[in-house]
Structure 1
Amino acid sequence: MSTPAARSRPSEDGLIRSSSSPPSGSETAAERLTDDLLVEILSRVPAKSLCRFKCVSKHWLGLTNDRNYRRKLPQTLTGFYQGNQLVDSGVPFTNVSGSRHLTHPAFLPNRRQVKIMDCCNGLLLCSSYVAGDHGDVFRYIVCNPATEEWAEFPYCGYSGLVANARLCFDPAVSPHFHVFLLPVADICITGVHVYSSETGSWVHKEKRWSGTIDVANDRSTVYLNGYLHFCAIVDGSDGRLAAVDKEGGARTNFRVPDGLDVGFIQLSQGCLHYAGFDTDDDNVVRLLVYVLKDYDRKEWILKHSVETSHLLGGRHIEYLDEDFDWIAIHPECDLIFFAVAQEDITFMCYDMDSGQVKVMCNLEDSNQAYFPYVPLYEELQSLHK
């Protein structure tokens, strides 16, 4: 096994920065074998424990920061990109410890006002204006901050309103990604536009749901089993999930657990999760989390229940839709991230296993979208300059 030629230090947002001190060329075969053994040990550590390591040797830290070795480690949530706003300089990033900073995608040339629109399995979907001979031209960009690879493609040409623009990517299934646009007219979805990195083109399919359907106010979506899932209003009734496949053809919708308000969906530990609030006969508001372990049967199982007053330090919030914003459910463990408008707007984390609530940091604006980011250190043929 050859010694890595250079050390790389991925930052928390996944951007690779080279170290000024390369490894010694005198590393022995025994030392390399020990390194491989350490990687094997770390790869078996649960992600929840791995991301909480505080006391490790400098050698271990250097090893886990090396790009060649990191590819062998389990990838885990590092933080959250702030999206849905045009920025001329850096993009806000909040890591899982609560510290915040700006990231600068300098590897994207000639870009002005980049806006992050979605994030999926290590890839970012961005919109941007590219300097052209006749002025700025709108483009979509899909990039991997961890490898600094990117690909751009034109807008599909649709001139009406779009309810959602979503990136769908599953590296365990395919190296290619898809981008979904859901056009709307008179509040209803009229069809779907899908871009495929494999074909390099857009396809458009007309509406195929049996009734009228619209995207609900919640911004969360999940890509699972080749389908984009989103919270929907079907024939005027909420409490549904809708799904469309990557060809834009097959459409379906199914019920979420009854009685839940302010629904939110996420993919965690390989299963679709649905979280929401329920008020009992004594006007006690509880947060409920359901999991769809058997996707084919569409049977929801209650996973967790907690009074919202526990999450909010004993406070009772009457209008959750005004004071509470979902951010994410951790993809590998039972952590819920959310924002609460109190005297300040607070980014918080709740551990369903221990019942502990942690204040992470203060935010300037809770109405912004926060996209969970898990770095991907694999080079992809679908991303090229």
Structure 2
Amino acid sequence: MENGRVSARIRSSSSPPSGSETAAERLTDDLLIEILSRVPARSLCRFQCVSKHWLGLINDRSYRRKLPQTLAGFYDAGQLLDSGVLFTNILGSRHLTYPAFLPGRRLVFLLDSCHGLLLFSSYVAGDHGDEIRYVVCNPATEEWAELPDSGYSGDASSINLCFDPAVSPHFYVFCLPVVEVEDQHGFCITGVHVYSSETGSWVHNEKRWSGNIDVANDPSIVYLNGYLHFCAIVDGSARRLAAVDKEGAARTDFRVPDDLDVCFIQQSQGCLHYAGFDRGDNDDDVDQLLDYVLKDYDSKEWILKHSVETSHVFGGRHAVSLYEDFDWIAIHPECNLIFFTLAWEDITFMCYDMDHGQVKVICNLEESKPPYFPYVPLYEELQSLHK
């Protein structure tokens, strides 16, 4: 069934017949799933708003394998857990989950997620006591692979998982080693280590940046077009967007919109997004939330996609401490939704719909702390995850 015909059928079924219930309401769940399985993931995301029943059906684990995969929820990170990792689904339900299919793992630390795969560090028993190993796994298929030792044991700005199943069945793990720069009171990336599941080995390259560069205090790193992108500080002050390819060789950095606070990069609908806050003329208040998009990657030209007064997003409050009360979570990969938390009396998980200007409270997160990793289930078996 073609996508256009599916959409037409769903729209026409929403018109009430002579009876009290609509044609869509008379569809059985199995028939409705067969229809929804033929629409793109972006359309499926919109159809979650039709009714609570459709929302629950689309997020039902027993049906999810048949549907185009869209954002299911978010993993909490930032602490070692021997009982599991907290997961919050789009409906706001929270539960502990643990990769029990990983043998001999006492404690796991979730480092990153990317297109359905998770990157853990874990402790295993070694000849000289507990040793740390990196493990990449797919919780939907319970496949996993342990990475060989990288040979690097120093400090790192970030360790990230990069994977795009639409481009390649292989994944990559990036490690950005750093050393302290005394005259700048900060750190400088000294190179890059990249693991490739295609070769089963690490490659190591020394620094090739034009200046001293380090990952900024921003909670987001994005893999797109074969590059790992991250917000960076160059020579201790200038803010740039930096990128390194999966061979660890070609590096670049380019400008981002100026004068934004608490900045955030994400991938949504195939493009890079750069969001942040404009304080305006008053340093005590935050005036606007701005979202820029890089539609033409080659030109490196950022286009303002959306702006909104922060008092609307923050429930009428003008004075918000961005560095204490606010945390980014994600921008939805298929539609114009921004997820974030506000910490006043409680830590509140919220969503802002850029298309409709609506703010929604999803749930309270209690003692949860960032970062939060978006999760899109992947039911495809990967040879790269076979032991």
Q: Is TM (by shorter chain) over 0.5?
A: yes
CA contact (8 A) 1:114 1:128 kept: yes
**Structure 1 partner of 2:355:** 353
Per the TM alignment, residue 162 of structure 1 is displaced from its structure 2 partner at its CA by 0.6
Note the alpha carbon deviations across 1:272-319, whole angstroms, 9 max, x for none.
Answer: 000000022365521000000000001111111111111111112353
**Structure 2 partner of 1:28:** none
Per the TM alignment, residue 259 of structure 1 is displaced from its structure 2 partner at its CA by 1.4
Per the TM alignment, residue 193 of structure 1 is displaced from its structure 2 partner at its CA by 0.6
**SS of alignment partner, residue 38 of structure 1:** helix
Per the TM alignment, residue 56 of structure 1 is displaced from its structure 2 partner at its CA by 5.3
Rounded to whole Å, the distance in 2 between the matches of 1:57 and 1:367 is 27
**SS of alignment partner, residue 35 of structure 2:** helix
CA contact (8 A) 2:72 2:377 kept: yes
Per the TM alignment, residue 331 of structure 1 is displaced from its structure 2 partner at its CA by 0.4
**Structure 1 partner of 2:133:** 139
Note the alpha carbon deviations across 1:9-61, whole angstroms, 9 max, x for none.
Answer: xxxxxxxxxxxxxxxxxxxxxxxx97996355445770322444533599x87
**Structure 1 partner of 2:198:** 198
Counterparts in 2 of 1:284 and 1:129: CA distance versus 1, 3 Å: closer
Rounded to whole Å, the distance in 2 between the matches of 1:57 and 1:261 is 35
**Structure 1 partner of 2:98:** 104
**Structure 2 partner of 1:86:** 80
Structure 1 letter corresponding to 2:199: T
1:297 to 289, 296, 299: 299
Per the TM alignment, residue 141 of structure 1 is displaced from its structure 2 partner at its CA by 0.5
Structure 1 letter corresponding to 2:175: L
Per the TM alignment, residue 66 of structure 1 is displaced from its structure 2 partner at its CA by 5.0
Counterparts in 2 of 1:294 and 1:35: CA distance versus 1, 3 Å: same
Counterparts in 2 of 1:198 and 1:346: CA distance versus 1, 3 Å: same
Unaligned ranges ≥5, structure 2: 1-29, 181-186
1:38 to 32, 35, 39: 35
Structure 2 letter corresponding to 1:213: I
Alignment of 1:239-258 (within 5 A): 239-258=239-258
2:59 is equivalent to residue 65 of structure 1: no
Rounded to whole Å, the distance in 2 between the matches of 1:357 and 1:50 is 18
Q: Aligned residue pairs: how many?
A: 350
Cα RMSD (Å): 2.5
**SS of alignment partner, residue 175 of structure 1:** coil
Counterparts in 2 of 1:343 and 1:45: CA distance versus 1, 3 Å: closer
Counterparts in 2 of 1:227 and 1:133: CA distance versus 1, 3 Å: same
Structure 2 letter corresponding to 1:180: F
Rounded to whole Å, the distance in 2 between the matches of 1:155 and 1:317 is 48
Rounded to whole Å, the distance in 2 between the matches of 1:101 and 1:149 is 21
TM-score, normalization by structure 1: 0.85
Percent of paired sites with the same residue: 70
Alignment of 1:162-241 (within 5 A): 162-186=156-180, 187-241=187-241
Per the TM alignment, residue 108 of structure 1 is displaced from its structure 2 partner at its CA by 1.0
**SS of alignment partner, residue 280 of structure 1:** coil
Structure 2 letter corresponding to 1:327: I
Structure 1 letter corresponding to 2:306: H
Rounded to whole Å, the distance in 1 between the matches of 2:172 and 2:166 is 14
TM-score, normalization by structure 2: 0.84
1:323 to 322, 325, 338: 325
CA contact (8 A) 1:341 1:366 kept: no
CA contact (8 A) 2:41 2:334 kept: no
Structure 2 letter corresponding to 1:166: N
Alignment of 1:21-32 (within 5 A): none
**Structure 2 partner of 1:160:** 154
Counterparts in 2 of 1:313 and 1:36: CA distance versus 1, 3 Å: closer
Rounded to whole Å, the distance in 2 between the matches of 1:365 and 1:115 is 17
CA contact (8 A) 1:42 1:50 kept: no
CA contact (8 A) 2:76 2:87 kept: yes
Rounded to whole Å, the distance in 1 between the matches of 2:223 and 2:77 is 19
Alignment of 1:274-313 (within 5 A): 274-281=274-281, 285-313=287-315
**Structure 1 partner of 2:145:** 151
**Structure 2 partner of 1:54:** 52
Q: Hey, which of these two has a bigger chunk of strand by percent?
A: 1
Counterparts in 2 of 1:177 and 1:352: CA distance versus 1, 3 Å: same
CA contact (8 A) 2:36 2:44 kept: no
Structure 1 letter corresponding to 2:158: N
Note the alpha carbon deviations across 1:189-234, whole angstroms, 9 max, x for none.
Answer: 0000101111111111000011110110012001011000000001
**Structure 1 partner of 2:19:** none
**SS of alignment partner, residue 322 of structure 1:** helix
CA contact (8 A) 1:317 1:323 kept: no
CA contact (8 A) 2:266 2:272 kept: yes
Structure 2 letter corresponding to 1:352: M
Unaligned ranges ≥5, structure 1: 1-32
Rounded to whole Å, the distance in 2 between the matches of 1:45 and 1:196 is 30
